[in-house]
């Protein structure tokens, strides 16, 4: 009887301990990511000062920032690299100032976690004016998909225009290439013109309110709204 009682007490004690451990695990605060940042500064052979800031999260490299400054305090190079948890580069961004700041180049690349480049952006600025831009996208295999190149060009008569070349690829093969001129000052970031669902007249296309506030038809004198497309069926449609 004494042995049986001792066994029962031992089982009871173990059950209580297990319950205590389980309760502690359930009520414990979640572990927080540990971020460690280190900064190192060097003097380069050309007299510039380089600062490297490295950031790691839970022991895994997260980002590296490199800044190079001239003795005249001009930021010659600013490079920022971020990483995926698997160690592959996520984004590479670099800005360089050349010729005392008269020229500036920008390069930005986004990567997939497999190391394949997804898109790339390049910009060249001269004396504060953008003179060239290029936008490129790539598929999952690294083959180019689209590329738009904008170059500020001065014509024979002195007029400045943007010469824009748009190219598309399929499976690495060039499919199309078009070149168009746009006037200097053209807003490439302007939103596209609004489109009405359907053809723009009553009974055609899906019904709905145009999110841009435009209405179908020519308006027949209505100055309260923007109109486009074929005339509506009645004033209510205008």
Q: What is the pLDDT of residues 115-159, one digit of tens each?
A: 999 999 999 999 999 999 999 999 999 999 999 999 999 999 999
Q: How far apart are CA 24 and CA 31, in angstroms?
A: 14
DSSP 129-197: EEEEEEEEEE-TTS-EEEEEEEEEEE-TTS-EEEEEEEEEEETTEEEEEEEEEEETT--TTSPPPP--S
CB proximity list for 126: less than 8 A, separation 6 or greater:
102, 103
pLDDT above 90 covers a percentage of the chain that reads: 61
**Cβ contact 68:95 at 8 Å:** no
- Band (pLDDT 50/70/90 cuts) for residue 13 is low
| 3-class DSSP assignment, residue 126 | strand
pLDDT of res. 191: 77
How many alpha carbons fall within 13 Å on the CB side of residue 29? 3
Domain boundaries, the chain: 33-114, 116-190, 194-238
* Cα 173 to chain centroid, rounded: 26
**Cβ contact 210:196 at 8 Å:** yes
Strand spans (E) along the chain: 35-43, 49-57, 60-69, 75-83, 89-98, 103-111, 117-126, 129-138, 144-154, 160-170, 173-183, 215-216, 227-228
**Cα–Cα–Cα angle for 36, 40, 45, rounded to 5 degrees:** 160
The pTM (predicted TM-score) of the whole model is 0.68
Structure tokens at 88: 């592959």
Dihedral, CA atoms, 221, 225, 228, 233, nearest 10 degrees?
Answer: -60
pLDDT at 211 over 90: no
Average pLDDT over residues 77-103: 94
pLDDT at 204 over 80: no
């Amino acid at each position: 009887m004494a042995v049986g009682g001792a066994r029962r007490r031992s089982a009871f004690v173990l059950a209580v301990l297990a319950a205590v451990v389980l309760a502690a695990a359930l009520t414990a605060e979640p572990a927080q990511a540990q971020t460690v940042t280190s900064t190192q500064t060097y003097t380069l052979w050309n007299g510039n000062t380089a600062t490297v800031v490295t950031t790691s999260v839970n022991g895994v490299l997260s980002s590296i920032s490199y800044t190079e400054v001239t003795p005249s305090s001009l930021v010659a190079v600013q490079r920022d690299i971020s990483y995926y948890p698997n160690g592959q580069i996520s984004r590479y961004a670099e800005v360089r100032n050349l010729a005392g700041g008269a020229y500036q180049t920008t390069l930005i690349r986004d990567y997939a976690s497999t190391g394949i480049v997804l898109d790339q952006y390049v910009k060249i600025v001269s004396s504060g004016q953008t003179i060239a831009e290029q936008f490129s996208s790539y598929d999952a295999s690294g083959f180019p998909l689209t590329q738009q190149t904008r170059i500020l060009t001065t014509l024979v008569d002195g007029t400045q225009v943007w010469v824009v070349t748009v190219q598309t690829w399929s499976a690495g093969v060039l499919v199309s290439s078009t070149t168009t001129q746009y006037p200097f000052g053209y807003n490439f970031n302007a939103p596209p013109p609004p489109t009405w669902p359907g053809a723009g007249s009553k009974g055609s296309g899906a019904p709905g309110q145009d999110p841009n506030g435009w209405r179908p038809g020519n308006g027949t004198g209505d100055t309260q709204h923007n109109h486009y497309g074929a005339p509506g069926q009645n004033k209510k449609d205008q």
